[in-house]
Amino acid sequence: MRVAHLIWSMKAGGSETMLVDIANEQALSHDVAVLIGNSDIDDVVRQSLSDRVTVKMIGRPPASRNLWYIVKIIRALLSFKPDIIHAHQESFIRFLRFLSFHKVLTVHDTSQRLKYVQGYDAVFSISDAVRHDIQAKRPGTHSTVISNGICFAAVKAKTGYGQLPFRIVQIGRLDHQIKGQDILLRALQSVSQIFGGESILIDFIGEGSSKEYLNILAKELGVAGQCRFLGRQSRKTIYERLHTYDLLVQPSRHEGFGLTVVEAMAARVPVLVSNTQGPMEVIENGKHGYYFQAEDHLDCSKQIRRIVEDSRTEDFPEAHYRHYSYAKSRFDIADTTCRYLDAYELVLTRMLK
């Protein structure tokens, strides 16, 4: 099978991470191409693509209306001759509809307008939260849930718990209005008053437009000495170092899934998420992780205190092995890839009848 993935931007983010993993896994047994529309490419993400994957960079300046770049995408697709075009933003259908190739779409979050979603032969959602959002915005559109996945074997496992200082990590784009890093900083101020300064430390991994704001906020809250902004890190580095942390916090205001939560579970690191639909789905509504009331930094602080105390209990390591086993059974990249390939086959079979 020949599969062409289409994405506008290749920067560090959940959909880009998922695309890299899926393309690499599919390329082990199929012909796979990734077409990157825009010129704003994160080299770390781009270099994560396997040599088996054909990469075609279109070079469109972001938001450009120059039709020449659309022509370049069409010519690249005609040259590759895919059996399936797998789009990762719905807007591609505006010109894909004129091509005879079979077209499918993955919706990655709940913030998309979904004006053109019904133009695809099949639609996939990364979570039930996203599926419900599609149904609410475009009634009658059927969507199949295929959860994101990761390579569990690549993640080093944590073995020791209960030590101080207690090291927290937050991974994601520095966009506090979506990812909620400001909530975590306020929670840090609160919890530090109980455990004392330097007992709770936070590393923020990622880049984004909120970096300056978050640095200023940390200083205003008096916790700047307990925070590090480490910038963008390669997936390999994150997978090798994640086990050194005592907790991952994902304080998002909006989140369609929560791939970093799965990565922490793979490392057997405790997770604390806001009770938004996507992350809550990952931890099975609290059965395999901790959660706090979204937007509530005091509840976030309360849960961090609880986790610090729980981490000193005898059965804590065994509990996180169970969480790891659960996550592996649901979010392994090999399973995700197989489900997509089966779905492609179903589309091809249905269209040939």
Backbone angles phi, psi at 56, to 5 degrees: -125, 115
CA pair distance 18, 38, nearest whole angstrom: 18
The per-residue pLDDT for 12 is 63
Structure tokens of 182? 């400001």
pLDDT in tens, 247-288: 999 999 988 888 899 999 999 999 999 999 889 999 999 999
Distance from the Cα of residue 36 to its chain's centroid: 18
Segment among 1-10, 104-113, 118-127, 209-218 with least mean pLDDT: 104-113
Region label for 250, one of left (φ > 0), alpha (ψ between -120 and 50) or beta (otherwise): beta
| H, E, C per residue of 223-236 | CHHHEEEEECCCHH
CB 10 within 8 A of CB 41: yes
Average pLDDT over residues 198-205: 94
Question: 165 burial class (0-12, 13-18, 19+ CB within 10 angstroms)?
Answer: middle
CB 33 within 8 A of CB 4: yes
Would you give the DSSP letter of residue 16? H
CA pair distance 325, 287, nearest whole angstrom: 13
pLDDT in tens, 144-189: 999 989 999 999 999 999 999 999 999 999 999 999 999 999 999 9
The per-residue pLDDT for 118 is 87
Q: Taking all residues of the chain, what is their mean pLDDT, rounded to a whole number? A: 93
The pLDDT-based confidence of 343 (bands split at 50, 70, 90) is very high
Structure tokens of 36? 């990157």
Q: What ranges in 180-222 are assigned the alpha helix state H?
A: 181-195, 211-221
The per-residue pLDDT for 351 is 62
The predicted model scores a pTM of 0.86
Would you give the DSSP letter of residue 64? -
Would you give the DSSP letter of residue 39? S
